[in-house]
Amino acid sequence: GEDVEQSLFLSVREGDSSVINCTYTDSSSTYLYWYKQEPGAGLQLLTYIFSNMDMKQDQRLTVLLNKKDKHLSLRIADTQTGDSAIYFCAESPGYQKVTFGTGTKLQVIP
């Protein structure tokens, strides 16, 4: 079945860039997503990318997709303490079911 893998933890200093990586196995993935979960809250859709794109930029967020290697990354520029959260990578073949990774906990050190 489909699988989405992420490292569990990342620590960065405030003001540095953060890069969160994700690999997936489903070659029919059409949509790839990044969600953010703040403590005690549900998941919030941060951004998404279609599989026919290589890159998408949205303010401080840059998503890079290497479809050949099935590798997705999220770069957060100028990381702030408010960016501390768990970040989930997810993929979907384009219909209902979305598969989520286990989440990467980002710790921002002041």
Point out which residues bind another protein (CB under 8 A).
Answer: 8, 31, 33, 35, 40-45, 48, 50, 88, 92, 94-98, 100-103
Q: How big is the CA angle at 30 (ends 103 and 60), to the nearest 5 degrees?
A: 55
Q: Give whichever of 42 and 110 is closer to another protein, judged by the CB atom.
A: 42
Residue 75 identity: R
Of 45 and 55, nearer to another protein (C-beta) is: 45
Q: Which is nearer to another protein, 52 or 59 (CB)?
A: 52
Q: Tell me the closest approach of the beta carbon of residue 68 to another protein, in angstroms.
A: 22
CB 13 to another protein: min, Å: 25
